[in-house]
Structure 1
């Protein structure tokens, strides 16, 4: 049976991808720094940032789904001044370059790389790092696919949680359509195994709302009493921050439904 390697398989998106691969009866190997506890997949210990264990992890692999990334903002759930000046590249650039090289040596038949919508005009250092990694994939002689996704709901939840202590929330009015990782995982699996290659349809959430509306729904779901102050941004500044609306495929799970799942006590109290 063909073997699929998932990098970043212990992250939010990676876990959903692995779940669907197992559900579909596919043989799965997860590349992670520390093996997990689930017994229905193979585990390969290693680190994309250093390359440790990667050559061995690619043995007999047919398809690679590269869902690995290193976003300091996502890890800490908030923005710090340093994020406007630099972002680590060991995973997303050097790690991607190393992965592509070793995939070529291992005769991997397909590399699917998960990226982000709106990178071309985004100016944040993390976005520039992601774009550099994506360009390496595009230039590769390997059979490759790229799926760009909008930011995930759990990231929006983390960012809004970081504002929860403030009595007033300054929020841009920019249109946006974040998406759930479950919908992205469904799209990734379709693109991984439908025989097509290249830049695939990007995916975003089902609702195109401004960020103020998303913030209000979050505030109401958590029963917080906060004032939201709408802030206007020029289109250029919004795009520079990665605040865009995706084109292509739309997910199914709405933000309000995600909030009900994430905060079940709020739902039962309604």
Structure 2
């Protein structure tokens, strides 16, 4: 049976991709710094940032799904001034370059790279790093695909939860359509095995809303009462910050439904 390697397979999206692959009967190997506990996949220890373990991980691999990334904002759940000046590239650029090179040596048949919608006009350093990694894939001699996705609901939840201590929430009125990782995983896995290649349909959530509306839904779901201060942005500035509405495929799960499914009070009561 053909073997699929998933990088970033212990993250939110990567874990959902692995789940989808396993349910569909694929043989899966996960590349991670530390092996996980699940017994229904193979584990390969290593690090994209250094290249450690890559050759062993790619042995006998037919398809690579590269869902690995390193976003300081996502990891800490908030933005700091440094994020407007620089972002680490060891995973998303140098790591992608290493992965492509070793995949070529291993004669991988399909390299699918997960990227972000709206990178071409985005100006934040993390977006520029992601775009540089994506262009390495596009320039590769491998048989490749690129799937761009909108920001994920869990990240929006994390960012908004970090504002809960503030009495007033300044919120841009820019519209975008964040998406659930399970919807993205379904699309990514479909693209990995449908025989098509190149830049694939991007995926976003089913609703395009501004951050004011998204924040209000969040406050309602989390039983918070905070004043929301709308902030108007020019279209150019909004696009530079990544606030775009995706074209292509739309996920099914709405932000309101995601919030209900991921209510901390409900989970703790269960």
Q: Report the TM-score, using the length of structure 2 for normalisation.
A: 0.98
> How far apart are 1:162 and its partner, in Å?
1.0
CA contact (8 A) 1:221 1:266 kept: no
Q: Counterpart in 2 of 1:139?
A: 139
CA contact (8 A) 1:260 1:267 kept: no
Change (3 A) 1:2 1:260: same
> How far apart are 1:224 and its partner, in Å?
0.6
- 1:182-197 equivalences in 2 (<5 Å): 182-197=182-197
- 1:75-224 equivalences in 2 (<5 Å): 75-224=75-224
Q: 1:145, 1:165 → 2: CA distance?
A: 42
CA contact (8 A) 1:145 1:198 kept: yes
Where in structure 2 are there 5+ consecutive unaligned residues? none
Query: What SS does the aligned partner of 2:64 have?
Result: strand
Query: What SS does the aligned partner of 1:34 have?
Result: coil
Query: What SS does the aligned partner of 1:97 have?
Result: helix
Q: 2:225, 2:7 → 1: CA distance?
A: 41
CA contact (8 A) 1:222 1:266 kept: no
> How far apart are 1:35 and its partner, in Å?
0.1
Q: Counterpart in 2 of 1:36?
A: 36
Query: What SS does the aligned partner of 1:146 have?
Result: strand
> How far apart are 1:267 and its partner, in Å?
10
Q: What CA deviation, in whole Å up to 9, does each residue of 1:123-163 have, x standing for no partner?
A: 00000000000000000000000000000000000110111
Q: What CA deviation, in whole Å up to 9, does each residue of 1:1-33 have, x standing for no partner?
A: 000000000000000000010001100000000
> How far apart are 1:265 and its partner, in Å?
2.9
